[in-house]
Structure 1
Amino acid sequence: MMQTLMTMDGGRIQVTRLLVGLDMNVINADGETIATVALNDPEAWTLFRALGEELNA
């Protein structure tokens, strides 16, 4: 399963479910992959919780 999120600058973040976690690719507006991050499930949920707390602060 893959989910694509569009960024404000015309890029996108593609998140793909792995067997034991998530693979996230950050792609700029020119279509170039500028970052790739693979996280296991506990690390991914820790990241999402921290982002949520930061956004709600």
Structure 2
Amino acid sequence: MIDTAKTRKHNIWRVGQKSYQSYVAHVLFDFSINFRNVGQVNLIDEHKTHHLRTILENH
């Protein structure tokens, strides 16, 4: 491997591109999980508030 400025720049660019791709994949993965869980989270929150309301009304 000849270490010239050109190859060094190319390697830095390749590494940067890889980390960017993994970052994007990570964000999309997180988003898809969050998107899938939104309905469940809302149900859980409604369940919790319902319990809190009944507890408060009984006291």
TM-score interval w.r.t. the shorter chain? 0.3 to 0.5
Q: Between Structure 1 and Structure 2, whose CA radius of gyration is higher? A: 2
Which protein is richer in strand relative to its size? 1
Answer 1 or 2: higher relative contact order, Cα 8 Å, separation at least 6: 1
**Length-normalised TM-score, structure 1:** 0.33
Which protein is richer in helix relative to its size? 2
**Length-normalised TM-score, structure 2:** 0.32
